[in-house]
A and B are shown apart, each in its own frame.
Chain A
Amino acid sequence: MLLGCLLAAIPGIVLAQESAPPAQRGRAQTASNDIVLQTMHAELAREQNALASQSVPPYYMSYNVGDEQTVSMSASYGALTNSDSSRRRMLLVDVRVGTYKLDNTHELRGSNDMFAQNGAQAIPYEDDAESLRLALWRATNESYNSATERLQQVRTNETIKVAEDDTAGDFSKADASNHYYQPDIEMSNYFRNRKEWEDRLQRYSALFAGQKDIFEAKAMLDASIVRKYFVSTEGGEIASNQVYTRIMIMATAKADDGMELPLYKSYFAYKPEDLPSDDSIMRDVRQMIATLQEMRNAPVVSPYAGPAILSGGPAGVFFHEIFGHRVEAHREKSADEGQTFKKMVGKLVLPTWMDVYDDPTLTHWDGTDLMGHYKYDDEGVLGQRVTVVRNGILENFLMGRSPMEGFPHSNGHGRAQPGKLPEARQSNLVVIAHKTVPVDSLRSMLIAECKAQGKPYGLWFKEVEGGFTLTGRTIPNAFDVLPILVYRIFADGEPDQLVRGVDLIGTPLATFERIVAAGDDGQAFNGMCGAESGWVPVSASSPSLLIREIEVQKKQKSQDRLPILPAPDAITITQQKYKTLGAD
């Protein structure tokens, strides 16, 4: 796939989805009085029954309905720029014809199969059985038609192409007859005091007003309730809630040479009342302003290859991007993908003192709440902890129900944004080191490494914005993590120096081999990860890591100069000048 992943987020807090706030009267409380779930169940049964007599009957069908309630607001320089709420319900129908071995979802090799996935459909969001049922009926019909048509193409493609590398089949059998029910939640009951939040955002963004070098500043809030319904012909019946509130503060300064300097801060909480206090966010914003001023005067990094420390957050993102995406099974399966790890199973891919696992059952890690938690995945399979690497050796992959050679079963990682077809995705990625050193020692090890390599300084990556990874076969298999706070650590003991314009580059496998040591600390990075099956909440946690050699390049900088005129509210001198000119 061309676009691997965009992880856009910043360290923060999220509480588990498990402990749902009390539902209110009028909303569904039990599976048996949940109109949506019961209607999905009834219509699926009816469709299955009727389609069974067709010449090409489905062997599997499922309905995923994602009911999204959102409140979003933003403020800039102390003024509210929007405050809206919306509600929509998206439907995805998965109809599979053929066999588990070869079905309509099979990759059509050599074709530009852009429209293989069924499109998401907006369906009525009121709990009205009749209109829901009509929408399900209509969408099932469309999916069934395209499934049968595509199966024909798949069979033809199989005949005319050479035998495939991966012969694992298209859909695995799974224990997916689970029943699980959480009561419905109403936004007005979850996100109260909207006015107060508007005021808070205005206060945060107001701190940037009058800062002449910060020319874009925003405070935003999203409150989101995604209620996910799943029913399948295998008997699965699940209704669960994915709830969070997120605050993001973004500000951009421009250095005198035109380089844009963005800085972000974000906070996640399961309940809005659990977000950090007003004071604490105000303090962070003031710190952001100070950092931005410092960054404006920081030297630009020059291209560099040498030792570096990644703090826990950046190390987590680094692993999410360059490692996590490559152990998502479907990427190792498609003929268009790089298949970096497919032939590496049982081989050493990391230092022997390292483990990597992905665990959706986790709700916390080292004191931080994790966003990637869920009980059942979007294919109705129980989310399971998967040890991907044990003692440095690659053992396993993250599996949805699309099997891969040697890995025939799902381990509960089939995930998707509402309306998208699930694929194997990360949840809570955790990097563990069995051999650690105190973080301070990591620093002296970095300096020692610099001296050994004859480098005047090493780099310390303290914060990153997110990153992206390209895993396709026809494009360079590389990653790019976007650092925003990087320091030079000098070998001769000079004080640490903030630098700007750093881009972390390189090819994945080479970088893993160069991990030298891990700190005894740990940090979790919560974020939203975007890929083929849409945006899903994830986390990545890691101790600080010392890497023997990391390659950085100078960030492509905006060619635009600083704004020619100063900000209208920045300096009074300009206004006087304007008045003088006006008087001429």
Chain B
Amino acid sequence: MAQIKIFVASIVLVLFAEGIASAQVSDSTINVVDRAMADELARSKTDLHMPGLVDPFFIAYTVADQEKLELAASNGSLTKSDATHERKESVRLLLHNYQFNDENFTDNTGFFNFNSAPDNTLPLDDDYMGIRRVLWLSTDNLFKEANDNFTKKKAALEHKELSPELRDLPDFSKAPAIHITAPPITFKYDRPALETMVKDLSALFTGRREIQTSSVSLTFYNSYEWIQNTEGTRVRKPATLCEIHIEAATQADSDGQPLVLSHTFVAKMPSQLPSEVELKSAIEELSGNLIALRSAPLFDKEYTGPVLFEDDAATDYLSENVVSRLFAEREDIFGNDVSAIFASGKRSSLKDRLDTRILPVTASLHDISLEKTKNGVDLLGYYPFDDEGVEPPQDLTLVDKGILKTLYMTRTPTKEVLTPNGHARSLAGGLPGLTETAPAPGVVEYNDTKAVAFSAMEKDLIKRAKEDGYDYGFVVRSIEVGAPPQDAGFSIQDMLANGKKIIPTLIYKVYSDGHEELVRGAEIGIPSIRDLREMIASKETVTRNMLISAGSGGLFSYSPSVPGTIIGPKDILSPELDVQKKQAEAYPTPPVVARP
């Protein structure tokens, strides 16, 4: 056995450690980009005026050099193998002053305006002038756009009576200038070997005739970012993300209900991803569960009682219902009546619960995003500076003795929290830099001084269920997070229901004699604050790198996420949740023609 393991380890080494190096920007590249940004920023700061227009007081440039490898395979054959390299910039420019500027305002007149911004693609060569040229045009365009917005915002405010607290709230916070250079990261991998691995993994599904569709995909991002602003900040840092996603779908035997199971593995570096052997066993497990689901009985009887979340389901439960809701976002002033569109479908924040209890009195929640490693794990949620160039604190106490102390913040002040705390993070399914930022977690640690042993928790589940009149309790091992997988039959209703229900993909009835019964077609009501206060954590803990939902999202940006880490209980028992029947739908009939 030991021999086999050593052999396997060496294969993984070959896959991830040898072969070509990728996206290592050279010292000269780092300096040329840096100089081009600095010079154009300085020129814009001093020269960008025009009679009749309001001057900028803050300009920030971000440049990201991004290399991306995307592989996907189905049933042993590649469906995608793309490698791309590009350099993009983004500019933020604010007019007037910190107290009142052109941001925090939404107007629907520009909503369908396709007279879009100039191309933000930078030369891939170290072309100093070429880089300045692109920044120059973007800055110019934004300066005019900001002036347009500023005028509209002022006009809108002439007809609106804002509450005093909103009226006096500054539009933007000052932040200290930061200087840091972190070296780029080199990815080493052998693309043909990775293609073979993805194909081989995807071929494991082929033998399972009950499975209708399946895929395995791998994505490596390696990015190097430069952030500079007129406050003097100058950050140069790498940002990387590696993902492997496995997914399979079929239909239930009896009624054709589409069934999808998926799993995503994330890491900072290719070498930190699970080994091929571990991935194989994950695929075997996922296939086994999916096939079991096909013939699993439908959830039948409404249930209000204890529910035990195990493993990934526990961290997902914590992240979706607590961690991802600890943010404060500025409410925009609306130029026209568009608020209704923007408000629907958003993730609800716990901001109104500030200074009151949201967790058990024995529980605390800290964000320690400056930690690089913990418990022997390289933490995916680590970052030295956020995407607005603000350093997060060593220890951000979010919850103490159950009381909500503060919220994740960007540099835009809110009614709840005025100052930034280094948690403005870029949203793009984990792709670093360049898109809009939202307040989001990094590394989150959950502690409960009264945590109980898992064995006791299992007994507690049955005991509590009996007291509630059931001869079984529910155990959840997997829940749906973020956007439903492609094959799940995505609908507007699903989208609007986001955050209003927990959809368990693997839920079991557990009886007192210990036997389990997998059921399908159940959903769980969102826990109330009361439920969160009564949450019981296991003594056994995990350190899990994952993508964590971030910010409020919204109708058109469905569940954005950021790379993060949760250190918390391996299992969570919630004493009183509602398990309900998923609303019946007409499902497609199973394939008429047998599988070839």
Chain A residues in the interface with B (C-beta under 8 A):
43, 46-47, 50-51, 54, 76-84, 86-89, 122-126, 128, 130-135, 137-138, 140-142, 144-145, 209, 215-216, 558, 560-561, 563-565, 567-569, 574, 577-578, 581-582
Contact = CB atoms under 8 A, between A and B. Distances in A.
Task: From B48, B79, B132, B140, name the one whose CB has the most chain A CB atoms within 10 angstroms.
Answer: B79
Given A81-B122, A82-B121, A558-B115, A130 B593 contact: no
B82 A209 contact: no
Contact of A130 (B121, B124, B130, B206): B206
B179 interface: no
Q: Do most interface residues of chain A lie in helix, strand or loop, or is the interface mixed? A: mixed
Given A124-B75, A124-B79, A126-B78, A564 B50 contact: yes
A138 B593 contact: no
Nearest to A580: B46
Interface string B35-78: 00001101110111110000000000000000000000111111
A568 B596 contact: no
A133 B125 CA distance: 44
A560 B141 contact: yes
A542 B484 CA distance: 52
Contacts of B144: 560-561
Nearest to A48: B593
A561 B122 CA distance: 23
Given A51-B592, A215-B137, A76 B130 contact: yes
Contacts of B594: 50
A569 B86 contact: no
A131 B591 CA distance: 17
Contacts of A140: 593
Residue of B76, B133, B140, B144 with most chain A CB atoms under a 10 A cut-off: B133
9 contacts: A79-B125, A79-B127, A84-B82, A141-B591, A141-B592, A144-B592, A145-B588, A560-B144, A578-B47
Interface string B144-170: 100000000000000000000000000
Contact of B74 (A81, A124, A569): A124
> Closest 6 interchain pairs by CB?
A79-B123, A124-B77, A131-B77, A131-B75, A79-B127, A568-B132
A76 to B, nearest CB: 7
Contacts of A209: 129
The prevalent SS among residues of B at the interface is mixed
B81 interface: yes
B84 interface: yes
Contacts of A80: 123-125
A563 B592 contact: no
B93 to A, nearest CB: 12
Contact of A131 (B39, B83, B206): B206
A578 B123 contact: no
A46 B39 CA distance: 67
Contacts of A84: 82-85
B42 A582 contact: yes
A88 B43 contact: no
B124 A82 contact: yes
Contacts of A79: 123-125, 127, 130
Nearest to A89: B79
B352 to A, nearest CB: 39
B438 to A, nearest CB: 28
Contacts of B115: 558
B592 A54 contact: yes
A409 B51 CA distance: 67
Nearest to A127: B77
B588 A567 contact: no
B143 interface: yes
B231 interface: no
A80 B123 CA distance: 6
Nearest to B122: A81
Contacts of A76: 121, 123, 130
B118 interface: yes
Contacts of A216: 118-119, 137
A87 B80 CA distance: 7
Contacts of B87: 81
A124 B86 CA distance: 26
B558 interface: no
Nearest to A561: B144
Nearest to B212: A138
Nearest to A215: B137
Nearest to B88: A81
A128 B130 contact: no
Nearest to B206: A130
A51 B76 contact: no
A564 B119 CA distance: 18
Interface in B364-416: none
B105 interface: no
Contact of B44 (A87, A124, A565): A565
